[in-house]
Structure 1
């Protein structure tokens, strides 16, 4: 750990960062924590749910920040928690894999501008709301030299379609941002029993204080009876890829002889797709209801986004994962899970619901063991104790 034991601030790569104070920081009031997830899909917001729950349970005063679908989701889960408007990165995808890669590269200047804007926004918010600590899920501009700031990410290493030289450059840039934060929390287990593979366990670690906090899932086992032939299909991610996968699902589900629940990943949207007696379609489901739907499903079909996989692992469900085309992180994770028999993976291009169900029934799943949630509890206890 590079932080000095005596000084509050140190200089690291010409970036001033701050350590946690040694008590008497909040001065008799509840510590005020700002939690802000990235708007790249819903996963960053959903994995903040257990963090916010734990903060509230341990007596912190929480504010949330974001916009759009992430705001709708978090407001539904925590209607009494204040929400601050914060513009997202507003990533856009293309309809083909190569197009997605080109479009993400083309949007790089926009992402850098968004990082700068949210950094300036945070300065104002800290003063206006007397924020004591920031917990940022993959929003690289939410650091400040005046208060402790935590970054949550499972991507220390970033996969690239252009080879290892580009991955080295991306990691170097990634670590430059990570090292601006007081701590970096990794939602994974340290060691071989991990879910993110090389992404969370690179050869070279950042200089920031890194802490593995365990898997983050909003779900827990309720011992509900699994229904043979019942599917839970979760759609998510940026457009147009979300809609393209939805069209494939709607095409194939019409001929499915079992039952299914389809969650479209569109919180706050009013337009509905018609349901039938055996196929129920929802724009969005609150965490409690989605927890129950996942528990009773024989198979879960979803993207291979890391937050979704943590939810699936928490309930030890058999899954069929379809990575978003061109999203290299999801493509890597899908391959990693297939290789380790954690999940059946298939590309969107070749997806056929009847064929994938047949494969899943004979696939030799090796589901990860459920791990204790005490890592998160201890992490939050440690955070708040250093602020009180």
Structure 2
């Protein structure tokens, strides 16, 4: 009898989709029938990569949480937090209905807190076990951490895509909260869709700019500023904009190429051929950079406290540069990063997951 699994994947950034792909593909290789619940850009990306091999369901995702400026930022934060709580309840009902209809052997969630069922084994993937709360809401830190803990306890296992070592890790306090022992968990190390790519490639691209975050405010301005600064620098440049609705490719002269998005082998090829990478500080992008052993300058999305923390944390370890202004890109050329801190990569993480979800 064919085994079945449901993957529920957050659309708050393409990273949830790209980092879960290696897991999905492993279970497809094992002969599982796979269903996927997702939304927006992430759903489009997964459909493009997996095509007819899986069955897809669309379900609304949570609001972005971190948008607006000044007073409006806090207004939206409260409003969106309440909406998120309501959506999680609806999501849980939807997942239970799918479980009742399809009788999955397991459910795997990446960033979707309501994607579990009491009728089967359920697993969740998350590096953000503790939120980096804005100072204005600092009083709510313990409440939010306790809320997270209670959510994770609804799952049979929490997979943490980071290293267990409290010193040599990628997410710092976000993935190593004090009360982690109260949740059934496993630190698996990094997860990257580049794990099976041929690493030896010639460095034909001098600068790769990748912008795939879910917050679109200031995105066009950010891209324009980066583009204007790169024009002053020699070499070939490639932009990947993370817009998955429609594939577009533009060529501007001999040294500038722009893609709306890339997936599969073409995405692998572009990343592998790039000397220097310019990116937002999304956690999955960070894992990709570690997998490929690439140097990069990270520009955290304004007001996204997780990215601001990660960029600062990793720049202090001299793993990546952090950019304050588009002109900081010039510092990347001669940057000597600290390498070879992390010995285990995605292959090891997949082995851990397959050993635990051994069906």
**Which TM-score applies when normalising by structure 2?**
0.91
- Aligned residue in 2 for 1:198: 173
1:361-372 maps to which residues of 2 (within 5 A)?
361-367=333-339, 368-372=341-345
Distance 1:254 1:93, change over 3 A: farther
How far apart are the structure 2 equivalents of 1:318 and 1:177? 35
Max Rg structure:
1
Matches for 1:54-73 after TM superposition, within 5 Å:
54-73=26-45
Q: How far 1:241 moved relative to its partner?
A: 3.6
TM-score under structure 1 length normalisation: 0.84
Residue 132 of structure 1: aligned partner: 105
- In structure 2, relative to structure 1, the CA distance for the partners of 1:332 and 1:97 (3 Å cut) is farther
Whole-angstrom CA distance in 2 between matches of 1:97 and 1:232: 32
Which of 44, 56, 75 lines up with 1:83 in the alignment?
A: 56
Task: Check conservation: 1:67, 1:85, Cα contact below 8 A.
Answer: yes
Q: 1:294 aligns with which of 247, 271, 275?
A: 271
Query: Relative to total residues, which structure has the larger helix share, 1 or 2?
Result: 2
Give, in whole Å, the separation in 1 of the partners of 2:236 and 2:268: 17
- 1:217/1:310 contact within 8 Å kept: yes
**Per-residue deviation, residues 5-61 of structure 1 (Å, max 9, x unmatched):** xxxxxxxxxxxxxxxxxxxxxxxx232111111111111111111111122223322
Map of 1:307 onto structure 2: 284
What is residue 13 of structure 1 aligned with on the other side? Answer: none
Structure 1 residue 217, shift from structure 2 partner: 0.3
Name the structure 1 match of 2:350.
376
Partner SS for 1:104: helix
**Mapping of residues 110-189 of structure 1, within 5 Å:** 110-162=83-135, 165-189=139-163
The match for 2:208 among 220, 232, 235 is: 232
| CA distance in structure 2 between the aligned counterparts of 1:103 and 1:95, rounded to whole angstroms | 7
- The number of aligned residues is 351
List gaps (5 residues or longer) in structure 2: none
Greater RCO structure (CA 8 Å; 6+ sep): 1
* Runs of 4+, deviation exceeding 4 Å: 95-102, 270-274
Which of residues 307, 313, 319 in structure 2 aligns to 1:336?
A: 313
User: What SS class does the counterpart of residue 107 from structure 1 fall into?
Assistant: helix
> Which segments of 5 or more consecutive residues in structure 1 lack a partner in the other structure?
1-28
